[in-house]
Structure 1
Amino acid sequence: MKRLWDKDQPIDELILKYTAGNDFHLDERLIKYDIKSSIAHINMLKEMNLVKKDDCKKISEALKIIGKEHEKGEWKIELNQEDGHTALENHLVEKLGSLGGYIHLGRSRNDQVLAALRLYLKDISSIINEELINLVSKINILIDEQGEIEIPGYTHTQRGMPSSVKLWAEGYIAEFLDNAKSINNVISRADKNPLGSAAGYGTPGLNIDRDLTTKKLGFKSTHEPVTAVQLSRGKAEAEMIFELTMILGDLAKLASDIILFYSYEFSFLEIKKSITTGSSIMPQKNNPDVFELVRSAESIGIGALMEVLSISSKLISGYHRDLQRIKMPLFRSIDITLDSIKIMSHSITNISFKKEKIKLSDDMYTTEQANKLSLEKEIPFRDAYNIIAKKINEE
């Protein structure tokens, strides 16, 4: 199998292994999107009379077959192919001979990978939102069953005011729903068709219709001018990772609350033993490991964000191989976020608050007392505050 840039000259195997890295593994999740964009591309070429109608049909049908074969696990991208784009063209040439080579007319791997990646981001954002909505539904079950239980509201990790399971949980629901909206906003940056920008400077000598592939692929707009496409590399990815990190941050806070409330000193809630782990030395332990791992996941998002921002900084305009390294932190962030949302949705249904263990002390009602005193005596709140504070100090 030949690489797309192969000029029948040998390549140092160490160089190939290093430059390909794990890109050939990472591209596995992009194959179906690469096929989708390739079919749109070849049909655009047909409509612009750059490829014959019969040839277009053969190439489109072959691509669909190749896609189904990949879904069945009949082939995977190999190291010597470097990436999914080479693998696709190689499989196409195997089936159709030199006719398969038409697929690369009017495009480069530079715009090809970005088209597949953006289609993937559009799909994965919907999946993330679905999982967030599912998590919200699980938290609502907790509210329905235990929402009226009173719990302390904390500031500075000190008891402050009376709260409830419902009020505590509704705060997280609001933030997870806000996260879902933010993920949708990220897609506006990725919802631009890069196809036809080729290596970054268009397709000299070819009269292509970029807007046609935009329509066929369902992108909101065509990314113009062609020189802007490679300048944008890393932006949608970094924005996505940022929003994923915000989700992981909220999950971390929720996990931290549960861990604290589960501790012996608090004993506000119980976690089903089936989702806890044990100790190899202390027989009595039932550890909330799952929540501890959710809590730590935010650091992975933060690290990935720094990776992407650092990789794309200080590059001059145009494409650079450095940008290949953006995929790994992006995919890692997506995977850990989805895994963390799913495990929290499962785990939140396995906790129960222990009403009999939760006691609210009288001093937690002093803010309410100050508010009432201010209204009843028609005095400024600060005066009422000082009266209540003095009373507390004298007790």
Structure 2
Amino acid sequence: MAKKNTATSGKSWQGRLTADLDAATAKLVASIDVDHVLWKYDIAGSLVHARMLQRQGVLTQRELASIRKGLLAVAGELEAGTLALPIELEDIHMVIEKALIERVGSVGGKLHTGRSRNDQVALDLRLWARDAVDRLAGLVGDLQRAFLGLARCQGEVVMPAYTHLQRAQPILAGAALLAYVEMLQRDVDRLADARKRINVCPLGSGAVAGTSLPLDRQFVAAELGFDDVTRNSIDATSDRDFLAELCFACSLLGVHLSRWAEDWIIYSTTEFGAVVLHDAYCTSSSMMPQKKNADTLELIRGKSATAIAQLTGLLTLLKGLPLAYNRDLQDDKRLTFACVDAVEQALGVACGIVSTARFNEPRIAATLEGGFLDATSLAEYITARGLPFRQAHHVVGRLVAQAEKQGKTLAELDLPTLRAACEQIGSDVYDYLGAANVVGRYRTEGAAGPEQLKRQMAFWEKKLG
């Protein structure tokens, strides 16, 4: 039950209302359990805001020095974990402000001049999101280099490619590894693009309509490394598109990690045996002593679900909000932080998995000719000798069925059998059959053959360093 306000709660808005919040309500409106991670950004923004206020004549030099000293002292206690974070203060902004006033006196109350928690939290979130993008891009780059390193070592291994999880055509392992690098580069590009819209400064927008005080928004933006200031104060205080974009970039990155994890979970099974994972990234069973489980890959696959769920939650949170700021936005941090954390955790392990894994070349080679990986090559061989591709497709389909009944590969069928199916087939056909021969004949740019792999490797070596 609410109690009469004794004006001792330390809330920034306590002058208007006549009752304190009860315990349940205080817990509901508090976000300090989540937004405390923003303290460095809040301090950084406050230091620049104070300098701007002094430049504009709102603060004296002495007041600025006092506020700066106080903020640095508060920052030291937050860094050390010794500053109390009482729930009744609701959020990190008020914790810092109250701690500042306790240390420097009433002059600390001048820091909030021309500022609202609405534009203050928008600033902190943009600073945090900018750093998150940079961290993620760095981790993705590390993973790309890990894939590139494995391609450098075992990229020329010939292996099957799959469509519908059925054997399709032969490829070089390096081409498959660089496919993941390509996916990840799109993630890096998306993060970089999102960063452009993150990197605009909302401070000075106030609660919703700006302020009558002579604030220098451009100075604050430049000092904090922003490219520009937001154009519209109403939008600036309620915009969370930049968080939604970040969460989408993380979610799609998570999907790419999940696809890779799924591939390698399958490839590392006894049935496939194509990839060998280091013991450091596997677990065993509490009951079955023989087990070597790819649990880290499974958890990475699971983290993508967390990221997607948080994105869905954030979009749902935003969809019904009228202009401008609404308290629903308090939960944007819970969703966004969880999304970024999930993907960062996955990336932190993924690099080690790739760096220590190897392809099981003998096992791959032992089963390579199964599944008629050279069927498409045979159809193209026939097409190059004048038969329309659709007819060649049918010819090879019948030959595959015949070879399958006889327990043979296409290369094991004798020439009379092949010529009986299609008179255009000559004795040179055997140079086109077999997985290794097929891979060596790929011609198109970007294909999964040795010449294309060399060019792709050179590109990524230069780009990734």
TM-score, with length taken from structure 2: 0.81
Correspondence for 2:368: 360
Rounded Cα–Cα distance in structure 1 between residues aligned with 2:23 and 2:33:
18
Amino acid at match of 1:85: H
Matched, 1:208 2:215: yes
Aligned CA distance change for structure 1 residues 235 and 212 (closer, same or farther; 3 Å): same
SS at structure 1 position matched to 2:81? coil
Q: Which residue of 2 aligns with 1:275?
A: 281
Q: Report the Cα offset of residue 69 of structure 1.
A: 2.5
Matches within 5 A, 1:84-233: 84-203=92-211, 205-232=212-239
Partner deviation per Cα, 1:53-90 (whole Å, 9 max, x = no partner): 22112212321232123212222532122111101111
Please give the alpha-carbon distance, in whole angstroms, between the structure 2 residues aligned to 1:202 and 1:209.
Answer: 12
Question: Displacement of 1:9 after TM fit?
Answer: 4.6
Q: How does 1:372-383 map to 2 (within 5 A)?
A: 372-375=381-384, 377-383=385-391
Give the deviation of 1:102 after TM superposition. Answer: 0.5
Task: State the distance in 2 between where 1:308 and 1:126 align.
Answer: 21
Query: For residue 373 of structure 1, what is the amino acid of its counterpart?
Result: I
Q: Which shifted more, 1-10 or 328-337?
A: 1-10
What letter is aligned with 2:23?
E
Letter in 2 for 1:274: A
SS at match of 1:26: helix
**Which SS does the other structure have where 2:373 is aligned?**
helix
- 1:16 is aligned to 2:22: no
In structure 1, how many angstroms separate the alpha carbons of the residues matched to 2:20 and 2:168? 71
Q: Is the CA contact (8 Å cut-off) linking 2:278 and 2:353 kept in structure 1?
A: no
- Alignment match, 2:293: 287
CA distance in 2 between counterparts of 1:76 and 1:136 reads 42
Which of 42, 52, 64 aligns to 1:34? It is 42
C-alpha contact (below 8 Å) 1:251/1:294 kept by paired residues: yes
What letter matches 1:18 in structure 2?
L
Of residues 154-163 and 384-393 in structure 1, the stretch that sits farther from structure 2 once superposed is 384-393
Aligned equivalents of 1:217, 1:354: Cα separation in 2 = 51
Q: Which residue of 2 aligns with 1:56?
A: 64
Contact 2:238 2:326 in 1 (8 A): no
Query: 2:324 & 2:280 partners in 1: Cα distance?
Result: 53
How much has 1:384 moved relative to structure 2?
A: 2.7
AA matched with 1:146:
Q
Shift of residue 215, structure 1, vs aligned partner: 1.5
Q: 1:355 offset after TM fit, Å?
A: 1.2
2:458 matched to which residue of 1? none
Query: Could you tell me whether the CA contact under 8 Å between 1:135 and 1:344 is conserved in 2?
Result: yes
Q: Are the structure 2 counterparts of residues 177 and 355 from structure 1 closer, same or farther at C-alpha, using a change threshold of 3 Å?
A: same
Q: Distance in 1 between matches of 2:100 and 2:353?
A: 46
- Amino acid aligned to 1:248: G
For residue 272 of structure 1, report the CA deviation from its aligned partner: 2.4
Q: Note the 1:205-354 alignment, pairs <5 A.
A: 205-232=212-239, 234-354=240-360
* In structure 2, C-alpha distance between the alignment counterparts of 1:78 and 1:346, rounded to whole Å: 40
Kept in 1, the 8 Å contact 2:122–2:202? The answer is yes
> Matched residues in 2 for 1:84 and 1:44: separation?
22
Q: What SS does the aligned partner of 2:168 have?
A: strand
Unaligned runs of 5+ residues in structure 1 are: none
Deviation, structure 1 residue 36 = 0.8
The Cα shift of 1:134 comes to 0.8
Q: Which amino acid aligns with 1:217?
A: L
Contact 1:45 1:51 in 2 (8 A): yes
Shift of 1:105: 0.5
Identity %: 28
Taking the aligned partners of 2:80 and 2:238, their CA distance within structure 1 comes to 36
Maintained 8 Å contact 2:122/2:237: no
Deviation at 1:107, TM superposition (A): 0.6
Q: For 1:380 and 1:274, how far apart are their aligned partners in 2?
A: 53
Separation of aligned partners in 2, 1:171 and 1:107: 48
Deviation at 1:378, TM superposition (A): 3.4
Contact 1:230 1:317 in 2 (8 A): no
Matched letter for residue 192 of structure 2: N
Shift of 1:208: 1.6
RMSD: 1.6
- Distance of 1:71 and 1:136 partners within structure 2: 33
Q: 1:140 to 1:76 in 2, by over 3 A?
A: farther
Within 2, Cα distance between the matches of 1:308 and 1:76? Answer: 30
The corresponding residue for 2:379 is 370
Q: The residue matched to 1:364 in structure 2 has which SS?
A: coil
| Aligned-residue offset at 1:5 | 1.8
- Max Rg structure: 2
What amino acid is the match of 1:116?
A: D
Alpha-carbon separation, structure 1, partners of 2:347 and 2:90 = 33
Q: Could you tell me how far 1:385 is from its partner in structure 2?
A: 2.4
